[in-house]
Structure 1
Amino acid sequence: MTAHQPTDLAADFARRHIGPSAADTAKMLETVGAKSLEALIAETLPTSIRQKAPLKLGAPLKDERPMTEEETLEHLASLAAQNEIFTSLIGQGYSGTLMPTVIQRNILENPAWYTAYTPYQPEISQGRLEALFNFQTMICDLTALDVANASLLDEATAAAEAMALAHRAASARSNRFFVDSEVHPQTLAVLKQRAAPLGWEIVCGDPLSDLDGNEVFGALMQYPASHGAVRDLRPAIAAAKAKGALAILCADPLALTLITPPGELGADIAVGSTQRFGVPMGYGGPHAAYMAVRDALKRAMPGRLVGLSIDSRGAPAYRLALQTREQHIRREKATSNICTAQVLLAVIASMYAVYHGPEGLAAIARRIHRHTGVLAAGLRQLGFTPEGETFFDTVTIKLRADDAFRARAEAERINLRIEAETVSIALDEITTPQIVEKVWRIFGGALAYDGVAAHARTGLPLDLTRGSAYLSHPVFHAHRSETELLRYMRKLADRDLALDRAMIPLGSCTMKLNATTEMIPVTWPGFAALHPFAPAEQAGGYRTMMTTLERWLAQATGYDAVSLQPNSGAQGEYAGLLAIRAYHASRGEPQRKICLIPASAHGTNPASASMAGMEVVVVGCDAGGNVDVDDLRVKAAGHAARLAAVMITYPSTHGVFEEHIREICDIVHGHGGQVYLDGANLNAQVGLARPGEYGADVSHLNLHKTFAIPHGGGGPGVGPIGVKAHLAPFLPGHPVLDDGTSPVGPVAAAPFGSASILVISYAYILMMGGEGLARATAMAILNANYIARRLDPYFPVLYRNHRGRVAHECIVDPRPLKTSCGVTVDDIAKRLIDYGFHAPTMSFPVPGTLMIEPTESESKAELDRFCEAMIAIRREIAEVEAGRFKIENSPLRHAPHTVHDIAEDAWNRPYSRSEGCFPAGSQRQDKYWSPVGRVDNVYGDRNLVCSCPPVEDYAEAAE
């Protein structure tokens, strides 16, 4: 299509993104009692915060006309072409890898996997939970440690989480933490930033010589070392443990197929990245980090943990275990603000291991090591002696690179890790003999690979050769052919309920359309194949895209600057609070550490404040769910000399635009504090109101909510922050960008966080345009008010504004039913599965309630289908109230119903099979069947199993 097409065709994407048609919109407005969409918005948003002018985006849009899908792909292809794909042998935690195409097509590019939500409803998440269980098993086996979590954000933040875990769990009473001088530089930078607000001191040195003289609570070491050496760290590990400190290894999981694993060396914790297990570098992310611990530490481990429990029939069933929602329970005393995982990437990494198996992984590792040995032998022939005799995939040469050396590297289109006195070369899965020969040419020699290979030797120490088995579970042996793997992935996908099947009406989570056109460029080599530390001139397309995206986000929010680095919403919160902390310090007010947080706030808010070294003071909420302004005023005044910030979610967590938001901002500013506005609910504001204009100083922006990046089953997420001009100098830095000179250090391993998926939000904004974004926001508000109006006679809506309107979500209140007939919010949630729906958000922010967010993407037909299901459930509850059956014997308590209920010979329940399995209004032909019955959460925590049993258990069971 040409650029001269009519505007109605150019805006066609917005029409397809927004669910209700014009006719449906008119009917919905009639139902909610609004004369027009604009009239509804006027009744929903306070007049004082409405932005005065339409949202204008500017270039590359022409005359604010959104691009068509075809134009967008053409434009993105031109940006991708501006990224030069060199062979990056930089290493430093990022490697070239080959994603099996069967995994690319059927996981990464499959909406059944990427549109799924965090598995809070385990019955309808069994597929991705099993894949994560495989991931945990893989990590436990490779590290030889007892328990692994379901992934973390990246290696550097995983190392920071391990440091925090060591501080909690170590017997040593110290605030000093030892860090190996051979950790990756970005890891050290993140560790330093994490430690500073908490008053911990980072001691850096050689663990084999410098650890003895330091009293520390933990010691973190790189294995293999960042510059390549494979060191025997057992003496250092023993020295740390003798002090009562915990020993942590940052370990390369592929190297662990050949060298002694951390658990066998005596380590307490292992962390690292699984990026090289088939996940593209993507200019820095997203990738799945891992953490594994000894059994004694499992209940203190941060992040998600998948456990094995049983369902109502006693059959095995997976679920999230232990502290999966600890931020809501422990608030500022939470051990971490991590409330998610990199699920999609962990699934890819686990399937890579399932496909290759232990023999395949070891073969890949041996091939890489063989190439490295040949490389080292050739360098010796050329007169360059590698530093040290041991290596896995990286060799380092003492060399001051001159212009001629750099020119030869550029001519060969190879990136090396060039530092002041050394050059390091890290090989990977895509290295070929031809690439090794190119490296020799960079060093000035013309050698033939085959001629050198005969003289090459191993770089792995004999006393560190791995002897223990790993990946012995049948799942890592049963899917060698593409046919078998294809069927296995399909089987798991069929067990899940994702957005490709039905509406996911989760409050505060914005499960909107992740359009195919937005997703397509993610796997293009021009975006996927770049190393995050490649020279900036090789990433011209990325830099153009990111600069534009930063500008768009600033325009949409009223802020002056944006950082794209935080790779989750929680990390965005943390980065925003670090900016506030540094700002106060720059003004000579480091004592400002009090953070006011409403009682209704998401649990990551107080956890993030605690991590930033702040003290949380809770502000009450009134009967309408709003911040109690009088209480805020008293506490702000009482802590005026030490007030750092207020953290507020807007619209409120209760789903209402508070009328006093400007007053709240003025009160806090009047006492010297800053306003942090949580961007989780930005989908109710884009194009209608700008936080930076009505008083906020900083917000994180959930791109995986408002700006269409998929949730991926619980990750990836992106949480950039927008700030007003006075906070711009305190955005997170990165040693690759600023040599560590920024006042605030990095919060993520890569300079631009999860860069490869920023293209999704970029494409979304490009195709929607400013007008389309504003209409999407208005329609999200209409959809929520439509649901509120339809459900209120059956499940009363708990909070509205003074005009009777909700924002983009609403809370319905079934709590009286528990008193009248014993029906719980769990009963309603599980019964919705029988109707083919994911439940709304349960018991947050008000215990016992349901928070519903429909988003703008859901059609009136789907909204009606959901409402009819809820109304039908209310009729079933009425039958319990009328005494037809007790709650214990009702369809609600037995939900979800499975195929076992249909096939069961005996049926002694007081309702028919048809009533249970095919409730009124549900579809029979296309029915979604939950693969398991209701999962027993208590059993799962009491009998914690978080990885596949060893193969010996299967042998014993068969005897």
Structure 2
Amino acid sequence: MPQLSHPHLAETSDPLSISLQELLYRSDSFRDRHIGPSESERQEMLEYLGYSNLDDLIKDVVPSKILLNRKLNLPLPKGEKEVLRDLKEIVSKNKIFRSYIGMGYNSCVTPAVIQRNVLENPGWYTAYTPYQAEIAQGRLEALINFQTMITDLTGMDVSNASLLDEATAAAEAMTMCYQLRGDDSGNSFFVSQSVHPQTLEVLRTRANPLGIQIVVGSFKKITGSRDFFGSLVQYPSTDGTIHDYSKFVDSMHAFETKVIVAADLMALTVLKSPGEFGADAVVGCSQRFGLPLGFGGPHAGFMATRDEYKRLMPGRLIGASKDSQGNMAYRLSLQTREQHIRRDKATSNICTAQVLLAVISSFYAVYHGPQGLKKIATRIHKLTAVLAEGLERLGYTINSKPFFDTIKVDLEQLTAAEIMSYAEQRRINLRQFNQHSVGISLDETVTLQDVQDILEVFHKGKSLPFSLEELVSSIEHHLPKELIRTSDYLTHPVFNSYHTETEMLRYIKRLEAKDLSLVHSMIPLGSCTMKLNSTTEMYPVTWPELGSIHPFAPASQTEGYRKIFGQLEKWLCEITGFAEVSLQPNAGSQGEYAGLLAIRGYHQSRNEVHRDICLIPISAHGTNPASAVMAGFKVVVVSCDENGNINIDDLREKAEKHKNELGALMVTYPSTHGVFEEGIIEICKIIHDNGGQVYMDGANMNAQVAITRPGDIGADVCHLNLHKTFCIPHGGGGPGVGPIGVAEHLVPFLPGHALIDNGTGITQGAVSSAPWGSASINVISWSYIAMMGEEGLNLATKTAILNANYMAKKLNNAYGVLYKGNAGLVAHECILDTRNLKKTSGVEAEDIAKRLMDYGFHAPTMSFPVPGTLMIEPTESESKSELDRFIDSMISIRAEITEIEEGKLDKMDNPLKGAPHTASMVINDGWNRKYPRQRAAYPLPFLVTNKFWPSVGRIDNVYGDRNLICTCLPISEYGN
């Protein structure tokens, strides 16, 4: 079918006047469904701003020196049906084999009630990080269920609410132990040779910049020493053997060496918990609790530890506190670990999690309950025992006893290559350890027929000389008696109440109803880009051609995935102006880290290891300094001027002062203050002239796409948040994808992976467990770009800037916009200055944030990058009517503040200080506020027919941190 060009299409009331070419495009135009304001609404907003067209507005917003003077070389946009058809054709090139490779990845069953009502439900996947806890009680409860599940199964005191994957969780645990080391401890970290190989590689990547020495060996032969500050073992081991680590733990503890255990959650339902034999921390992944393989992700890693270490534990921790009515409520706890507060002193650079995936895994545990999980695990183990018995009858030796679900088979009759060939004929994947042994890992999807097929592979494809019924009747379990679990787990009623689909469905919906997401209203969070995550983009994620592929499946089976990656990387290169892109980083923080490692590797290759100074503007995202420290840099802060721009004189002075040691500058563009800084080219030149490299934080890329490019501006590397600019949903605080684009000279220093050959010759270490990180959700961004094309992306960026400026001007008189660029304009976001209100009325930014809940809105980004302010980003997906609804709400709140200033409302007893107002508060006969109930709940007319009720009143954060509760509450507290 020939491709049609399509010039910009004007709106028309006469369909007969549209050409056939335009009509074919318009009938399935995704662009017009993604971008909120219509053309007439855009024109109306432009006229309000004093412009006749978008191009003139952009010329005043974006410095002329960096404006693109050509169109991006991207394919013409496709309609939604066409994209789904083409994508189906591509992913059909993937071959769905039965994968028994293991290595921490197992096929599983996502219960249909969870898949349809959580994974595929925008009410769950479009919510934001639960910073505003009063309108996030649903996912907070699901996450505290997750934490309880992890602590119960691991036998530890406290768990975080998920990390990115197992390998990075292990790396985070290692650095936590490094911070806990004694004055006389060395810098060595012991890793058992039986851990998963991808974990070892990520540990090595993480250890190198920090000066940590990784020592690999047998846990049975290693002797305790002050040289080791920490150690890591796998339980069960990567070859399937279940080891008793009790003596090892004792020997390590004798020298105050911490012990980390990487554990399999399913195995822990039948095996003694690591906490029971003395582990200091337990890490792993909840993938086999209902999460599709997805060629490596996204999945929910986890980390649990002892209570005494909780303040050093990376990631998020969900806790409980009390609300204004004395009811228990959930919230994020111990926020002093947040990077925006501690910056280069933060314990980790992790600023996201895998919330949606952790939620799914927690629901999996709730649905099955302890008995259901134990049945699944027992069935897996017994089928593995049947398989082992059959292999031994065929003359093979099992070299991994005792085992749970994985066996290592020693080969004598056949080579591994021959076994793999027989397996391929039956569309089966096994793990090859070496030429003389293979591994087999079973899972909950396996049947007796699957076991028979595997046995026939080892019998050269011939029929078996025995029946499976014989094997079943003769097998015994292979769990070591001293490690069989006797302790209880998941005893809380929440894990024992929702085992029918009816009850489970109602529980899921009850929690969903407590959370505000994009299905309710715009989420105007500055720097977070909460835009449309279209159904068409999301629809393919659960296709088996994408979800059923093991991350270490042979390349011959992943042709579809590789084609998608190749095209997406090519498009992102064109969009950013870089030579190559790596999709491996599975979060923005990981992208920052990988980008800085690339710079570090480049300097090392030029014998300039001493270039370890990283300049970072004081306005930067808090993850920037935390990532710099992790990558081995020393942070030097650069000031900003009164307009919020980088102080170029201060930058030049510090760049020249550290000329011999300058490694990098980290800069966000447009700036974190929401403006296109005119001096960005000069800034990049100063760094290059002094021997450094420029790292650009791509958090604000939504203001750049198709109108300017980081590579053209002068950046050497830039990470992209695909969960922002390129439409992967935030998922309530995760998943994310943070790929990096690099200039030609940095290509050799992109992340590699020891377990694949990507043909690039890249030898850098991995930063994520899987070669392509959260692979399965990259199709979302692929679909977005394919449907938008150059014209759509260009219009989206311009509309995002238009919406932000429209909102800024509308709200300027009420609040004041703190920073503006050329012609008094902002980029794609703006900062409202609410700091003076505390003096005039006692109202703070938090009060406005809570009051917005009564109007049905999530608050803007609060107190970042400037304390006491609100940063708003409307995105291009919000219609003018939704923008106006939010603007009206903010102006209404300002009017309430004025009444406080004028004494018409009490300074302490007013709608802002009392917010948010729940339904139970408003209907309570004991209402004794100095303002009426209707004003509390229905301050504007539109709320009468469109009301979202917060489920709890304002939460007491201080009480929550002083009285930390981070596992499930007593059942009496549920339903409040």
TM bracket (short chain): over 0.9
Q: Distance in 1 between matches of 2:115 and 2:682?
A: 50
* Pair 1:734 & 2:753 matched: yes
Question: Cα deviation per residue 1:194-215 (whole Å; 9 max; x = unaligned)?
Answer: 0000000001111122143673
Secondary structure, aligned partner of 1:217: strand
* Pair 1:142 & 2:153 matched: yes
Question: Cα deviation per residue 1:258-278 (whole Å; 9 max; x = unaligned)?
Answer: 000011011010000000001
**Match 2:303 to one of 286, 291, 313:** 291
**Match 1:34 to one of 45, 51, 57:** 51
1:244-259 correspondence runs (5 A): 244-259=256-271
Q: Distance in 2 between matches of 1:8 and 1:236?
A: 72
Amino acid at match of 1:712: G
Question: Cα deviation per residue 1:635-659 (whole Å; 9 max; x = unaligned)?
Answer: 0000010100000000000000000
Q: For structure 2, list consecutive stretches of 5 or more residues without a partner in the other structure.
A: 5-19
**Match 1:426 to one of 425, 435, 441:** 441
Q: Distance in 1 between matches of 2:914 and 2:334?
A: 24
Contact 1:299/1:323 (<8 A) preserved: no
**Match 1:517 to one of 536, 543, 547:** 536
* Pair 1:413 & 2:427 matched: yes
Change in 2 beyond 3 A, CA 1:636/1:318: same
Q: Distance in 2 between matches of 1:949 and 1:121?
A: 20
* Residue in 2 that maps onto 1:69: 80
1:210-609 correspondence runs (5 A): 210-212=222-224, 215-323=227-335, 326-399=338-411, 401-420=415-434, 421-444=436-459, 446-447=463-464, 448-609=467-628
Quote how far apart the aligned CAs of 1:886 are. Answer: 2.5
Q: Distance in 2 between matches of 1:326 and 1:741?
A: 37
Quote how far apart the aligned CAs of 1:742 are. Answer: 4.0
Contact 1:685/1:777 (<8 A) preserved: yes
Amino acid at match of 2:70: A
Between 21-30 and 3-12, the greater mean CA deviation after superposition: 3-12
* Pair 1:197 & 2:222 matched: no
Quote how far apart the aligned CAs of 1:419 are. Answer: 2.4
* Residue in 2 that maps onto 1:61: none
* Residue in 1 that maps onto 2:12: none
Q: Distance in 2 between matches of 1:887 and 1:10?
A: 57
**Match 2:40 to one of 5, 20, 23:** 23
Amino acid at match of 2:313: M
* Residue in 1 that maps onto 2:934: 914
Contact 1:437/1:446 (<8 A) preserved: no
Q: Distance in 2 between matches of 1:508 and 1:330?
A: 19
Amino acid at match of 1:13: F
Question: Cα deviation per residue 1:161-200 (whole Å; 9 max; x = unaligned)?
Answer: 0000111123362100000101000000000000000000
Contact 1:302/1:338 (<8 A) preserved: yes
Change in 2 beyond 3 A, CA 1:692/1:937: same
Between 800-809 and 850-859, the greater mean CA deviation after superposition: 800-809
Quote how far apart the aligned CAs of 1:744 are. Answer: 1.9
* Pair 1:853 & 2:873 matched: yes
Between 738-747 and 247-256, the greater mean CA deviation after superposition: 738-747
* Pair 1:799 & 2:810 matched: no
Amino acid at match of 1:929: W
**Match 1:93 to one of 84, 95, 104:** 104
Secondary structure, aligned partner of 2:335: coil
Secondary structure, aligned partner of 2:824: coil
Q: Distance in 2 between matches of 1:174 and 1:38?
A: 60
Quote how far apart the aligned CAs of 1:7 are. Answer: 4.1
Q: Distance in 2 between matches of 1:469 and 1:2?
A: 65
* Residue in 2 that maps onto 1:674: 693
Quote how far apart the aligned CAs of 1:908 are. Answer: 2.3
Contact 1:657/1:801 (<8 A) preserved: yes
Q: Distance in 1 between matches of 2:21 and 2:391?
A: 62
Change in 2 beyond 3 A, CA 1:239/1:24: same
Question: Cα deviation per residue 1:707-759 (whole Å; 9 max; x = unaligned)?
Answer: 00000000000000000000000000101124998442000000000000000
Contact 2:126/2:732 (<8 A) preserved: yes
Quote how far apart the aligned CAs of 1:402 are. Answer: 4.7
Between 692-701 and 443-452, the greater mean CA deviation after superposition: 443-452
Between 573-582 and 941-950, the greater mean CA deviation after superposition: 941-950
Quote how far apart the aligned CAs of 1:668 are. Answer: 0.2
Q: Distance in 1 between matches of 2:333 and 2:402?
A: 41
* Residue in 2 that maps onto 1:686: 705
Contact 1:835/1:922 (<8 A) preserved: no
Contact 1:394/1:425 (<8 A) preserved: yes
Amino acid at match of 1:601: A
Question: Cα deviation per residue 1:451-484 (whole Å; 9 max; x = unaligned)?
Answer: 2222222111000000000000000011011000
1:100-179 correspondence runs (5 A): 100-171=111-182, 173-179=185-191
* Pair 1:934 & 2:954 matched: yes
Question: Cα deviation per residue 1:747-780 (whole Å; 9 max; x = unaligned)?
Answer: 0000000000000000000000011001100000
Amino acid at match of 1:567: N
Amino acid at match of 1:788: A
Contact 2:311/2:337 (<8 A) preserved: no
Amino acid at match of 1:409: A
* Residue in 1 that maps onto 2:93: 82
Q: Count matched residues.
A: 948
* Residue in 1 that maps onto 2:17: none
Question: Cα deviation per residue 1:592-640 (whole Å; 9 max; x = unaligned)?
Answer: 0000000000000000000000000000000110000000000000001
Q: Distance in 1 between matches of 2:775 and 2:585?
A: 10
Question: Cα deviation per residue 1:488-547 (whole Å; 9 max; x = unaligned)?
Answer: 000101000001100000000000000000000000000000000000110000000000
Seq. identity, %: 57
Secondary structure, aligned partner of 1:800: coil
Quote how far apart the aligned CAs of 1:667 are. Answer: 0.3
**Match 2:650 to one of 628, 631, 645:** 631
Q: Distance in 1 between matches of 2:429 and 2:940?
A: 63
* Pair 1:819 & 2:819 matched: no
Q: Distance in 1 between matches of 2:724 and 2:129?
A: 13
Contact 2:239/2:400 (<8 A) preserved: no
Q: Distance in 1 between matches of 2:630 and 2:420?
A: 42
The alignment's TM-score, normalised by the length of structure 1, stands at 0.97
Amino acid at match of 1:902: V
**Match 1:782 to one of 791, 802, 805:** 802
Question: Cα deviation per residue 1:825-868 (whole Å; 9 max; x = unaligned)?
Answer: 01100000000000000000000000000000000000000000
Q: Distance in 1 between matches of 2:849 and 2:427?
A: 56
Secondary structure, aligned partner of 1:383: coil
Secondary structure, aligned partner of 2:233: strand
Contact 1:325/1:339 (<8 A) preserved: no
Secondary structure, aligned partner of 2:262: strand
Q: Distance in 2 between matches of 1:658 and 1:807?
A: 10
Secondary structure, aligned partner of 1:625: coil
Secondary structure, aligned partner of 1:6: helix
* Residue in 2 that maps onto 1:757: 777
* Pair 1:644 & 2:666 matched: no
